[in-house]
Amino acid sequence: MDKIVIKGGQALHGEVQASGAKNAALPILASALLADGTSTYRNVPDLADVATMLKVLRTMGCDAERNTETSDVCQVGVNGHITPEAPYELVKTMRASVLVLGPLVARFGRARVSMPGGCAIGARPIDQHLKGLKALGADIHLTEGYVEAQAKQLKGGTVNFDVITVTGTENVMMAAVLAKGRTVMENCAREPEVEELAKVLNKMGARIEGAGTSIITIQGVDGLKPVEHAILPDRIEAGTLLVAAAISGGDVLVKRVVPEHMDAMVEKLREAGCTLTAEGGGLRCKAPQRLEAVNITTTEHPGFPTDMQAQLMALMSVSQGTSVINENIFENRFMHVPELHRLGADITIQGHTAVVKGVKGLSGAPVMATDLRASASLILAGLRAEGRTDVSRVYHLDRGYERLERKLSGLGADIRREKA
Ligand code: EPZ
């Protein structure tokens, strides 16, 4: 298992480019199942989770590959015989594999997909995914830890989500595009990645309206065709890089971002005293002399994203004053707190709330990553901490960040990856 070693204290300067969005690439790769032929995707980030999704598709009989080791182009060929199954061994490593469920039922009339099980940050049930598929006429059985879904022909219907769910919205949307008739989905997730998936599906011949709002209507069509598409930039990676500038006292231009996808996090960085300006298709973050504590409440998009909570907590740990952080999306997304304590942070957890008292400085220490965004939070804190910080178990980081340590060292950070 690798570890990341950081010597803190370097202010970051320069330019860096955001990679393609993990949380758009995963549903979009799964959507290739809806068409016969080969779809080509550009700007696909080189991440462990993307590699897992490609493996899930290959396991079913698709030709699903990254063009070359270093290319950002992936192709998914869906021809001939597909075994509509996603095994536990793969799904347990990446719960977003469950995104093949909707396309498989819609296209092949059946699917056998392992229940994802919980993960470090929460139970993360998929009851809403199944509720939506049932509303479209799918027959769903749970046997031996697998979802068995059948439907000769899905029929349009009304789906009202009890909980706003990103992949739930995406799964049901991918099922509805081939259902007979009209589907209305209510209380949908409004994330940019949902909108991006709808854009890709419409390019394939689907008829989706309202993606990005809470009500999505879909007129089913008889078939879809393969697509060529470039994945939109990753707003969470971009936000993480902006925080790296802020926490290190630097001045960094993050290129290739969609600023309007980042309003909530940009607003919080400005509130904390940073200067953020749009520049050359990107966002520049200039750190203030003195970071101010701000309060954070995570909510569904367009609110403050839960995927940026751990990163902002690292920043707040060295800001002036006290910051109250409410995590409303996942029930166990404070696992970075005990590790930040090891670096000298002063944070108290009360249920879903963390109270962060800013301290003068942090001091480096060995810490352990527990989940994807916690890894990023510890690296950010390490950039600030005096001395050396070793972040172990960075396989968590590699799930969702494309060579983050190289991007940071390109901005002047003293950071390297070591075989642990
Ligand atoms: C997506 O996860 C993202 N992953 C997550 O990003 C992100 O944190 C999350 O949305 C929230 O924005 C991908 O897009 C691949 P949810 P998802 O369904 O869809 C509950 C990262 O760091 N819920 O929106 O799995 C659930 O328990 C990852 O990149 C149900 O109760 O999240 C949670 O409390 C982490 N029943 C809440 O809804 C369901 O059927 C939001 O979950 C589905 C969800």
Which of 97, 142, 167 to probe ligand 1 with, by most ligand atoms within 8 A of CB?
Answer: 167
Residue 150 is predicted with a pLDDT of 98
Catalytic member of 119, 188, 274, 285: 119
Residue 35 is predicted with a pLDDT of 97
Secondary structure class of 13 (helix, strand, coil): strand
Residue 205 is predicted with a pLDDT of 98
Question: Average pLDDT of 37-63?
Answer: 97
Residue 303 is predicted with a pLDDT of 98
Which of 93, 131, 165 to probe ligand 1 with, by most ligand atoms within 8 A of CB?
Answer: 165
CA of 361 to the centre of ligand 1 (A): 34
CA of 103 to the centre of ligand 1 (A): 19
Flag whether pLDDT at 146 surpasses 80.
Answer: yes
Question: Average pLDDT of 103-111?
Answer: 97
Flag whether pLDDT at 187 surpasses 80.
Answer: yes
Question: Average pLDDT of 157-161?
Answer: 98
In ligand 1, which atom is closest to the CA atom of 372?
Answer: 22
Residue 388 is predicted with a pLDDT of 98
Question: Average pLDDT of 78-85?
Answer: 91
Flag whether pLDDT at 117 surpasses 80.
Answer: no
CA of 124 to the centre of ligand 1 (A): 7
Residue 120 is predicted with a pLDDT of 82
Residue 304 is predicted with a pLDDT of 98
Flag whether pLDDT at 118 surpasses 90.
Answer: no
In sign, the C-alpha dihedral spanning 238, 239, 242, 244 is negative
The two three-digit tokens of residue 26, written as one number: 């995963």
Model confidence pLDDT, tens digit, residues 348-401: 999 999 999 999 999 999 999 999 999 999 999 999 999 999 999 999 999 999
For residues 274 and 291, what is the distance between their CA atoms, to the nearest angstrom?
8
Are 6 and 381 a contacting pair, CB within 8 Å?
Answer: no
What band does 329 get if pLDDT is binned at 50, 70 and 90?
very high
Which of 19, 23, 142, 188 to probe ligand 1 with, by most ligand atoms within 8 A of CB?
Answer: 23
* 5-23 b/e (C-beta count within 10 Å ≥ 16 → b): bbbbbbbbeeebbbbbbbb
Average per-residue pLDDT in the chain?
A: 97
Is 119 known to be catalytic? yes
- pTM over the 0.95 mark: yes
In this structure, which amino acid lies at residue 333? R
Residue 28 is predicted with a pLDDT of 98
Model confidence pLDDT, tens digit, residues 53-71: 999 999 999 999 999 988 9
Residue 70 is predicted with a pLDDT of 87
Question: Average pLDDT of 75-79?
Answer: 96
Question: Average pLDDT of 100-126?
Answer: 92
CA of 161 to the centre of ligand 1 (A): 13
Question: Average pLDDT of 322-337?
Answer: 97
